[in-house]
Amino acid sequence: MQYIIKNIQDWNEIIKKIKKFIKPNNFLFLSGELGTGKTAFTKLLLKSFGVENNVTSPSFVILNTYFANGLTINHMDAYRLNFNEDMALYDELFDSSFNIIEWPDNVVINNANPKNTIKMKITLSEDNEIRIVNIESTDFEIF
Ligand SMILES: Nc1ncnc2c1ncn2[C@@H]1O[C@H](COP(=O)(O)OP(=O)(O)OP(=O)(O)O)[C@@H](O)[C@H]1O
Ligand SMILES: [Mg+2]
């Protein structure tokens, strides 16, 4: 599924759909080059789900955790991690939470599988005016 995002409001359609997927042990993989809007999108998604804290980029802390609607939500930035990273600690955290992962290709997420994972890729157009968002999902009731 492909969406064209011209301004920040255009994310609302995707957010509305992804909210149905915010459940324990589900994953949202966000890929795309630096500055394409992975964190900006996460902020909007979490705000609309009821997260009241200010959502910040987890680039320096690797993982931020939020609570809303009785659910724990992890937001990971794996930019500085790599395949050698020992993920055991994270796997334990992911187990009972909804997990948003930026730069998912850098790491091995053991709990993630095609059924519990939506993959979203953001590509900025050459003139930086629009974002092309490609979404891969096996949950056909959502996408
Ligand atoms: N329609 C839009 N969607 C998302 N971000 C937008 C949009 N329009 C402008 N922006 C701006 O683009 C920037 C995207 O930066 P952001 O930190 O979200 O990127 P990122 O993909 O998380 O990068 P990184 O890989 O470094 O973590 C933000 O400053 C955001 O405000
Ligand atoms: Mg980011």
> What domain count does the chain have?
1
Examine residue 141 and state whether it is found in any structural domain, yes or no.
no
pLDDT digits over 29-83, tens only?
999 999 999 999 999 999 999 999 888 888 778 999 999 999 999 999 999 999 8
Distance in angstroms (rounded) separating the CA atoms of residues 9 and 86: 38
CA triple 118-124-126, angle to 5 deg: 150
Using only C-alpha atoms, the chain has a radius of gyration, in whole angstroms, of 14
Contact 86, 67 (CB under 8 A): no
pLDDT digits over 104-124, tens only?
999 999 999 999 999 999 999
- One-letter identity of residue 67: F
Domain that holds residue 25: 2-136
Neighbouring residues of the ion ligand 2, judged by CB less than 5 Å: 38-39, 57, 102
Examine residue 69 and state whether it is found in any structural domain, yes or no.
yes
Examine residue 142 and state whether it is found in any structural domain, yes or no.
no
Which residues contact residue 16 at a Cβ distance below 8 angstroms, ignoring those fewer than 6 apart? none
Nearest protein Cα to ligand 1, atom 26: 34
φ, ψ (nearest 5 deg) of residue 79: -55, -40
Contact 137, 14 (CB under 8 A): no
Examine residue 95 and state whether it is found in any structural domain, yes or no.
yes
Distance in angstroms (rounded) separating the CA atoms of residues 12 and 18: 10
pTM comes to 0.96
Examine residue 50 and state whether it is found in any structural domain, yes or no.
yes
Positive or negative, the CA dihedral 20, 61, 105, 92 is negative
Assess whether the C-beta atom of 50 lies below 6 angstroms from ligand 1: no
CATH classification of the domain holding 64: 3.40.50.300
Closest-lying ligand 1 atom to the alpha carbon of residue 79: 25
Assess whether the C-beta atom of 17 lies below 6 angstroms from ligand 1: no
